[in-house]
Amino acid sequence: MTMTLADSCVDDGGMGPRADRPKRRTFSAEYKANLLAEYEAAERGERGAILRREGLYSSHIIEWRKAADAGARSGLAPATRDRRDREVEALRARAQRAEAELARTRAALDLVGKAHALVCPERKGSVV
C-alpha cells in the first residue's frame, strides 16, 4: 500500500491546499487603541498613509471605533472564546431546555393522573 500526502498525519506547515494563503492577523487591544489615537490625531490627508503603512482598511478603524465607543478596552480585544467554551455554553443551554421539558412532562403526567383518578375511581368490592 502506498502512502499519499493526504494520508500523512505530519503537519510540517508547508504542505496542504491552503499553505499558500496568508494567516489571519489578530491585533491586541493596546495596538488598536494606539492606532485609533494616532488615526484620530492625524490630518485628513495623513490618515490614508497610516492605513497603508499598517496594511489596514478603513473598515478596521470603523469597527475599532465602534468597539471603543461601546464601552471598555475589552471591546477592542479580539474574541478569545475557543471551541471548548462554545461547546460548554451550548451544552448548558441544552441541559436547561431538557430540564424545562422534563418539568413540563412531569406536570402533564401529574394532571393526567389526577384526571384519571376523577374519571375512573377505584371500585372497592366489585368483581372484575
Q: How do residues 66-77 score in pLDDT, each as one tens digit?
A: 888 876 555 555
Share of the chain above pLDDT 90, in %: 40
Q: How do residues 6-65 score in pLDDT, each as one tens digit?
A: 444 445 555 667 777 878 888 888 899 899 999 999 998 899 999 999 999 999 999 988
Q: How do residues 39-56 score in pLDDT, each as one tens digit?
A: 999 998 899 999 999 999
Q: 46 — phi, psi (to 5°)?
A: -85, -20
Which residues neighbour 13 within 8 Å (Cβ) at sequence distance 6 or greater? 19
- What's the CA gap between 10 and 1, in Å, rounded? 18
Find out whether 51 and 61 touch, Cβ atoms under 8 Å. yes
Indicate if the pLDDT at residue 96 is higher than 80: yes
Q: Give the residue carrying C-alpha cell 377505584.
A: 122
- What's the CA gap between 122 and 9, in Å, rounded? 70
DSSP three-state, residue 82: coil
Half-sphere exposure of 30 (CA within 13 A, CB side): 0
Indicate if the pLDDT at residue 95 is higher than 50: yes
- pTM score: 0.42
Indicate if the pLDDT at residue 126 is higher than 90: no
